[in-house]
Amino acid sequence: MPVEHLIILGAILFCVGLIVVVTRKNAIAVLIGIELMLNAANINFVVFSQFDPERLQGQVFSLFIITVAAAEAAVALAIILKVYHYFKTADLDKINELRG
Protein backbone atom coordinates (compact mmCIF):
# COMPACT_ATOMS: atom_id res chain seq x y z
CA MET A 1 0.00 0.00 0.00
CA PRO A 2 1.87 3.08 -1.19
CA VAL A 3 1.81 6.15 1.01
CA GLU A 4 0.43 8.35 -1.76
CA HIS A 5 -2.85 6.46 -1.79
CA LEU A 6 -3.36 7.06 1.92
CA ILE A 7 -2.60 10.76 1.62
CA ILE A 8 -4.90 11.14 -1.38
CA LEU A 9 -7.63 9.41 0.64
CA GLY A 10 -7.08 11.96 3.39
CA ALA A 11 -7.28 14.79 0.84
CA ILE A 12 -10.56 13.40 -0.54
CA LEU A 13 -12.05 13.16 2.97
CA PHE A 14 -10.98 16.73 3.74
CA CYS A 15 -12.48 18.13 0.54
CA VAL A 16 -15.74 16.21 1.03
CA GLY A 17 -15.96 17.65 4.55
CA LEU A 18 -15.27 21.13 3.22
CA ILE A 19 -18.00 20.85 0.57
CA VAL A 20 -20.45 19.56 3.21
CA VAL A 21 -19.61 22.49 5.50
CA VAL A 22 -20.06 25.04 2.69
CA THR A 23 -23.25 23.70 1.13
CA ARG A 24 -25.43 22.49 4.00
CA LYS A 25 -27.87 24.71 5.82
CA ASN A 26 -28.62 22.56 8.85
CA ALA A 27 -26.19 23.08 11.72
CA ILE A 28 -25.83 19.37 12.49
CA ALA A 29 -24.92 18.57 8.88
CA VAL A 30 -22.20 21.23 9.15
CA LEU A 31 -20.95 19.48 12.30
CA ILE A 32 -20.76 16.17 10.38
CA GLY A 33 -18.57 17.90 7.78
CA ILE A 34 -16.25 19.21 10.50
CA GLU A 35 -15.82 15.69 11.91
CA LEU A 36 -14.87 14.45 8.44
CA MET A 37 -12.19 17.12 8.15
CA LEU A 38 -10.75 16.24 11.57
CA ASN A 39 -10.57 12.58 10.54
CA ALA A 40 -8.68 13.52 7.39
CA ALA A 41 -6.09 15.33 9.48
CA ASN A 42 -5.82 12.25 11.71
CA ILE A 43 -5.13 10.02 8.71
CA ASN A 44 -2.20 12.19 7.66
CA PHE A 45 -0.70 12.19 11.16
CA VAL A 46 -0.94 8.42 11.56
CA VAL A 47 0.37 7.69 8.06
CA PHE A 48 3.50 9.75 8.53
CA SER A 49 3.95 8.45 12.08
CA GLN A 50 4.55 4.91 10.82
CA PHE A 51 7.86 6.00 9.27
CA ASP A 52 9.04 7.27 12.64
CA PRO A 53 8.61 4.25 14.89
CA GLU A 54 10.68 5.45 17.83
CA ARG A 55 9.17 8.80 18.71
CA LEU A 56 5.46 8.22 18.00
CA GLN A 57 4.80 11.92 17.56
CA GLY A 58 2.08 11.52 14.98
CA GLN A 59 0.10 9.00 17.01
CA VAL A 60 0.24 11.18 20.13
CA PHE A 61 -0.92 14.16 18.10
CA SER A 62 -3.82 12.20 16.64
CA LEU A 63 -4.86 11.18 20.17
CA PHE A 64 -4.98 14.86 21.09
CA ILE A 65 -7.00 15.63 17.96
CA ILE A 66 -9.54 12.95 18.89
CA THR A 67 -9.87 14.44 22.39
CA VAL A 68 -10.34 17.98 21.08
CA ALA A 69 -12.89 16.70 18.57
CA ALA A 70 -14.89 15.10 21.37
CA ALA A 71 -14.87 18.33 23.39
CA GLU A 72 -15.79 20.35 20.29
CA ALA A 73 -18.72 18.09 19.41
CA ALA A 74 -20.13 18.29 22.94
CA VAL A 75 -19.91 22.09 23.10
CA ALA A 76 -21.23 22.54 19.55
CA LEU A 77 -24.25 20.36 20.19
CA ALA A 78 -25.01 22.21 23.43
CA ILE A 79 -24.91 25.51 21.52
CA ILE A 80 -27.12 24.07 18.76
CA LEU A 81 -29.65 22.89 21.36
CA LYS A 82 -29.83 26.33 22.95
CA VAL A 83 -30.12 28.05 19.54
CA TYR A 84 -32.91 25.69 18.57
CA HIS A 85 -34.67 26.34 21.84
CA TYR A 86 -34.51 30.10 21.22
CA PHE A 87 -35.08 30.41 17.47
CA LYS A 88 -37.12 27.20 16.97
CA THR A 89 -34.92 26.28 14.01
CA ALA A 90 -31.49 24.84 13.31
CA ASP A 91 -31.26 26.50 9.90
CA LEU A 92 -28.12 28.59 9.80
CA ASP A 93 -29.57 31.20 7.42
CA LYS A 94 -32.47 32.04 9.69
CA ILE A 95 -30.25 32.63 12.71
CA ASN A 96 -29.23 36.14 11.78
CA GLU A 97 -29.86 38.32 14.79
CA LEU A 98 -27.89 38.60 17.99
CA ARG A 99 -30.62 39.67 20.39
CA GLY A 100 -34.16 38.90 19.48
Q: Which residues bind another protein (CB under 8 A)?
A: 1-9, 11-16, 18-20, 22-29, 31-33, 35-36, 39, 42-43, 46-47, 49-53, 55-56, 59-60, 62-64, 66-75, 77-82, 84, 90-91, 93
Q: How far is the CB of 99 from another protein (least distance, A)?
A: 17
Largest CA distance in the chain: 56
Q: How far is the CB of 90 from another protein (least distance, A)?
A: 4
Long-range contacts of 48-52 (CB under 8 A, 24+ apart): none
Q: How far is the CB of 97 from another protein (least distance, A)?
A: 19
Q: Compare residues 16 and 100 and give the one whose CB is closer to another protein.
A: 16
d(CA 65, CA 90): 27
Query: What are the b/e assignments for 40-63, b being 16+ CB within 10 Å?
Result: bbbbbbebebeeeeeeeebeebbe
